[in-house]
Amino acid sequence: MKRYMQRKLLSKRWQWRLVLLFLAASIAAQSVYAHQQPVTLVVLDINPKNVAMTIHVPLNELELAFGHQVTQAPETSLARWQSQFSAYLSNHIHPTTNNQPWSVQIGALEVAKAEQTQSGPFQEVIVHLLLTPPTGASTRRFTLHYDAIIHQVVTHKALVSIRHDWEQGQMMERQVGVMQVNTQTTLIEPLEINLETGSWWDGFKGMVSLGQQHIKEGTDHLLFLLALLLPATLRVNGRQWGAFGGGTYSLMRLMKIVTAFTIGHSVTLLVGAMGWLRLPQQPVEVLIAISILVSALHAIRPIFPGHEMYVAAGFGLIHGLAFATVLADLNLEAAPMALSILGFNLGIELMQLFVVAITMPWLTLLSLTPFYKGVRISSAMLAVLAALGWMATRISGVPNAIERAMEAVTQFSPLAVLLLALVAIPTYLYSANKGKTIAAQIER
């Protein structure tokens, strides 16, 4: 009996040891997985006459295959090894159509910080290339031969995705393949790119949709316009906003402000998208936040009464530069770029007019009541708060609670419009009935 108990106790000890061993192995496996090496990202922009390629190459993996020291102070050492790296890429990137080689032009290189889910933070070199097919060949069907790093580091992978396909109207990134060593054949097999036939009409429609989406997600652009429109139906009474100015007065002011903003951002959208003027993104974004602040303060108390049209046009120039960055990233030639500017701008205008159409009727109803002053000032104060939050984030580069709150509130924009309507209608009816009652009492 004693030996049996000892054996049983020993058996339990071994069970616990096995459990602990299993847990340790699991933790070790998870640790290994959590520290997998980063992969190369290959991003393609498909255009009618060429393919713009952007490669995000992790420096630690590149160093293993390249044979040069690139991980130590890469920002300063890039100038020393970039010519050899460009030559290296030329030997390992070969797009072809029916075995006919494409022209590969290597452009700008830059070092940046990056992070991938499976690997954590690391440094990478970003390379911009232009791939041009032989005469008569389509950019929609080709074979991509790519083995940079993979030819030496057999565990490395390159994820290939299409970010923009102009002729299909596709502006959302989607993965189309993985370049890696085939474990069965030990070969790095090329990737066949075979896209459906597109058209310039599809490209135009895609740009209209992109413009609409940009405004839909661009809370700052809409907030500027709405803040400027808050007092649009009111007349100026000294240094204060007065009463409702009448239907014709309100409609004309509304049309002037919207038209002026449209003209302003259309000009710089054209100039920026064509590459005639480029400004750093950060100061442009800060100026957009300032434009919201100014228009919100004007909604509280008139700062530039009667000159809203000129202010809308002036700040529209700044907003247009932000719009232009979207088109500049498409790497289009002149003809499709011109069509894209037209479609993108049309999409912006359609969405702006839609937003004005579903908000201004209710704001107009409210402006006919004595309660509008409270609505106008409280709305303008919220816009001031949002502008200050965006300014702080865009100057410091550090997100803050106000910005996060704005992103959360934006998701409920349709409910906010519904709530505005539900408040405006009964408020107007109540004020109208009360006015009739007072008038009847005066007549008596």
Domain ranges of the chain: 40-198, 201-443
Whole-number pLDDT of residue 215: 87
Q: Is 441 exposed, middle or buried (0-12, 13-18, 19+ CB in 10 A)?
A: exposed
State mean pLDDT over 431-435: 75
Residue 430: what pLDDT?
A: 83
pLDDT at 388: 93
CA-based nearest residue to 331, from 175, 208, 193, 165 = 165
Name residue 109's beta-bridge partners. Answer: 127
pLDDT tens digits, one per residue of 201-229? 888 999 999 899 888 888 888 899 899 99
β-sheet bridge partners, residue 175: 161
Average pLDDT over residues 131-154: 95
| Contact call for residues 224 and 291 (beta carbons, < 8 A) | yes
pLDDT number for residue 15: 52
Digit-coded pLDDT (tens) for 278-300: 888 899 999 999 999 999 999 99
| pLDDT, tens digit, 9 for 90 and up, residues 176-187 | 999 999 988 889
- CA 47, CA 52: separation in Å to the nearest integer? 8
Task: Show the CA angle centred on residue 206, arms to residues 201 and 211, nearest 5°.
Answer: 130
Distance CA 355, CA 219 (A): 11
Q: Is 249 exposed, middle or buried (0-12, 13-18, 19+ CB in 10 A)?
A: middle
For the chain, the average pLDDT equals 86
The tens digit of pLDDT for each residue in 329-340 reads: 777 888 888 899
Which residues lie below 8 Å from residue 263, measured CB to CB, with a gap of 6+? 313, 316
Across the range 306-318, mean pLDDT stands at 92
**pLDDT confidence of residue 13:** 52
Contact 187, 181 (CB under 8 A): yes
Q: Does 88 score more than 90 pLDDT?
A: yes
pLDDT at 6 over 60: no
Give alpha helix (H) positions in 69-218.
74-92, 200-217
Give the SS3 label for residue 141: strand
Phi, psi of 139 (to 5 degrees): -80, 0
Q: Is the pLDDT of residue 134 over 50?
A: yes
